[in-house]
Amino acid sequence: MPQLYVMFKTVSTDCNLDCSYCYYRESLEGVRVRRRMDNGLIERFIPAYMEYVADAGVASMAWQGGEPTLAGLPFFQKIVEAQSRSVAPGTLVSNSLQTNAVLLNDDWGAFLKRYNWLVGVSLDGPREMHDTLRRDRGGRGSFDRVMRGIDVLRRHGVAFNVLCVLGPHNVDRPVELLRFFRAERFTHVQFIPAMDFQAMEPERPPVYLITPAQYGAFLTAAFDEWHEEGSPRISIRTFDNFLQSYTGVPNDLCVHSDRCDSGIVVEYDGSAYPCDFYIHPRWRLGNVLETPLREIAEGPARRAFVFQKQPLPDECRRCEWLRVCKSACFRNRTEGEDGTRPDHFCASYKTFFPHADARLRGLGSAIENKRRYLRMAEIAPREVARVGRNDPCPCGSGRKHKLCCLSPAAERSYLLATPPEFKA
């Protein structure tokens, strides 16, 4: 069986914050309704899921909301117990938690570290930016509480990344944002534009709180700050995804992939959907408590969703950047008198790619050179070890060893650093 990523909406739309731009604040049952996924669903679904992915050898689960930590730590302890009882030998189990970090304490930190969970923390920049829109129901900003939660993760050695929503409060300050994240020693950051529609409104036009012009300007300025003369030190997921396309690696983000294949979403009651932008009866794939998982994952409804990027809008088919943009997000298309129009942020990408293309190509070449270098170091380690600093680099670039794969700048970059196992 193929791999199947599952996103659990653990508490549905319930949250202890009240961020005005949240696309998952409303449901068909109301706004911020208190809902909880019960233990019975976990006990029944996890074994079925583990059986389904056993041949693939990877079980990948994400726990989101709302705010998933509202379900309480005992609920998550039952999750790992259910996983350990039913996982097939040799299967890699991957769990991630997307949280506002407000409720994290040392008990959470110890749990997340013990079971090697990856944590995503929502943080919109320094206090002034973050507290503009990320407030609780009493109107209080959450920045200090979020940073305390991040401190918990750091003390316990938990791997985490940052999710930053771009809105009117921060989109015009990309350099300040990146320098703040770098100063805080964050290593992985993802940016997403703030939406002005809800997950349960898939037919509503894609309206965002920032314009395509603003997003395009943000991407170009952020890229300039991130690039660091070809040795970037902080992972920006959007740029990493573009690099995947430049180097021929399948894109791990559905927005810039050939297909709308981001697994399935399981709501608190077991209802399954193909994407968390499509939480609506029309797109319901079934219920994991009632419908066989194979039918949900491989049935005609999900297959139709996965391939819905085709046919492409005419403008996309003619575009020179299609090979890296991949027509972006289907949810962001609109219908006009002249037919289907591209992604809402098409103009943003048409601003960004001409600006960054040469440097993305250069990074792609550097990555390929480093791959060749490491393959040679693995096959003929003694020969590579004898290459002098002023000799031609073994990767074949034609540059001196010390200025290419052995350069200090490359070793500082998360893209080009030599893995520890090759340094022994």
* Catalytically active residues, by annotation: 276
Structure tokens at 29: 């049952």
For residue 360, what is the enclosing H or E element?
A: helix 346-379
Contact 240, 251 (CB under 8 A): no
Scanning the structure block, which residue is given the tokens 């992939």?
A: 257
Exposure class string for 249-265: b at 16+ Cβ within 10 A, else e: eebebbbbbebbbbbbb
Structure tokens at 43: 């006990």
Q: Identify the sign of the CA torsion 46, 52, 57, 62.
A: negative
User: What's the rounded Cα separation, in Å, for the pair 172 and 292?
Assistant: 47
User: What's the rounded Cα separation, in Å, for the pair 71 and 111?
Assistant: 15
For residue 316, what is the enclosing H or E element?
A: helix 314-317
Structure tokens at 48: 């079925």
Scanning the structure block, which residue is given the tokens 């319901």?
A: 284
Judged by DSSP in three states, 281 sits in helix
| Residue 160 vs residues 69, 130, 185, 358: alpha-carbon distances, Å | 15, 18, 11, 31
Closest CA to 405 of 421, 380, 424, 385: 385
Structure tokens at 87: 């996982």
User: What's the rounded Cα separation, in Å, for the pair 152 and 46?
Assistant: 29
Exposure class string for 194-230: b at 16+ Cβ within 10 A, else e: bbbbbbbebeeebebbbebebbbbbbbbbbebbbeeb
User: What's the rounded Cα separation, in Å, for the pair 117 and 11?
Assistant: 19
Q: Report the C-alpha dihedral over residues 131, 134, 136, 142, rounded to 10 degrees.
A: -50
